[in-house]
């Protein structure tokens, strides 16, 4: 019996290759071929492991005659044609368990830096500016924390909040019956009525595209903080900028941007006044899609993927 051939399209932790080889797989690492080059040879492989470099669309999937699985080292699956893969009987694997802790710590880290003006104050002191009243902070304690999307990431955030003395943690999710000891499930209207902070943990789908738009912001009863470590296109940037200018959005923590490339490796080369506003504002913290990007998560993401592949018994 021949060894199943697996194609790796993105660099990941070496344990993936090491453990798959030890389990009897053949592994080909290809980090440079174009989409078209991949499409022409995809019929050779029983499995694909990737992050986001190449879209696994209908053309590739229909050409992949031997394919048994597509494994994404990460959480989001928007780069994969899920409907076609399912119809063809191809297993889809991801590893949101691997970076949920990293994301949760990033959310809290960004919020604490922003609400307490830590980065701003530090930079001022380094330039010889000593301002105290102007840098008075705002506490998490006593606030209602609202989460949209209560999967691996949302739950990890809720667990971290247990020690911060927040008034309560509430969440909205399209699936029912997800409430637990860390957070109470509510409808979207209740969340908009009560939340002081909104943290997004939703995938990128047609239903979540521009989830945070002009109407959502205006329907918030309180002026609020926004955190987005999910997907950039979940937030309408122009609406966010208007909310920041009006004060309805007190401040924003953004690890993802609407203008990111599909591979998440950079921001599109565009001149955009709304993006420029975010980058120049002291009410906004922006990081380069690294919420799930820690030393530990790199190992865990890879290990969960390998474990799930081995469970398929290909």
pLDDT for position 125: 97
Domain annotation for the chain: domains and CATH numbers: 5-94 (3.40.50.720), 100-286 (3.40.50.720)
The Cα 65–Cα 150 span in angstroms is 36
Predicted TM-score (pTM) of this structure: 0.92
pLDDT for position 219: 98
Closest CA to 260 of 229, 282, 239: 229
Q: Which helix (H) or strand (E) holds 200?
A: strand 197-200
The Cα 143–Cα 247 span in angstroms is 18
Measured CA angle at 218 (ends 247, 161), to 5 deg: 70
The Cα 228–Cα 240 span in angstroms is 11
Neighbours of 180 (CB within 10 A): 12
pLDDT for position 22: 96
According to the 3-state scheme, what is the secondary structure of 246-266? HCCEEEEEECCCCCECCCCCC
Per-residue pLDDT of the chain (314 residues; tens, 9 = 90+): 578 999 999 999 999 999 999 999 999 999 999 999 999 999 999 999 999 899 999 999 999 999 999 999 999 898 999 999 999 999 999 999 999 999 999 999 999 999 999 999 999 999 999 999 999 999 999 999 999 999 999 999 999 999 899 999 999 999 999 999 999 999 999 999 999 999 999 999 999 999 999 999 999 999 999 999 999 999 999 999 999 999 999 999 999 999 987 655 666 656 789 999 999 999 999 999 999 999 999 999 999 999 999 999 88
pLDDT for position 258: 94
Closest CA to 91 of 258, 310, 276: 310
Neighbours of 9 (CB within 10 A): 20
Q: Would you name the residues annotated as active-site residues?
A: 231, 260, 289
The Cα 221–Cα 302 span in angstroms is 42
């Amino acid at each position: 019996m021949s060894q199943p051939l697996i194609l790796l399209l993105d660099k990941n932790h070496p344990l993936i290759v090491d453990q798959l080889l030890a389990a009897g797989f053949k592994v080909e690492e290809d980090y440079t071929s174009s989409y078209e080059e991949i499409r022409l040879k995809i019929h050779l492989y029983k499995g694909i492991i990737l992050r986001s470099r190449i879209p696994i669309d209908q053309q590739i999937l229909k050409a992949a005659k031997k394919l048994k699985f597509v494994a994404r080292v990460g959480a989001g699956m928007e780069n994969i044609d899920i409907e076609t893969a399912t119809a063809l009987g191809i297993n889809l694997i991801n590893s949101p368990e691997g970076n949920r802790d990293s994301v949760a710590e990033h959310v809290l880290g960004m919020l604490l830096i922003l609400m307490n003006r830590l980065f701003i104050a530090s930079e001022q002191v380094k330039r010889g500016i000593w301002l105290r009243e102007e840098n008075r902070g705002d506490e998490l304690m006593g606030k209602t924390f609202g989460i949209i999307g209560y999967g691996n990431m949302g739950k990890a955030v809720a667990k971290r909040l247990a020690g911060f003395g927040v008034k309560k943690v509430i969440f909205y999710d399209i699936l029912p019956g997800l409430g637990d000891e860390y957070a109470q499930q509510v409808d979207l209207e209740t969340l908009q009525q009560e939340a002081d902070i909104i943290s997004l943990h939703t995938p990128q789908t047609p239903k979540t595209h521009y989830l945070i738009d002009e109407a959502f912001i205006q329907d918030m009863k309180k002026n609020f903080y926004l955190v987005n470590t999910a997907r950039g296109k979940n937030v309408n940037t122009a609406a966010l900028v208007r909310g920041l200018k009006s004060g309805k959005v007190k401040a924003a923590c953004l690890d993802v941007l609407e203008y990111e490339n599909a591979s998440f490796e950079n921001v599109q080369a565009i001149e955009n006044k709304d993006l420029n506003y975010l980058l120049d504002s002291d009410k906004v913290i922006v990081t380069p899609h690294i919420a799930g990007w820690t030393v530990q998560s790199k190992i865990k993401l890879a290990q969960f993927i390998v474990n799930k592949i081995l469970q398929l018994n290909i």
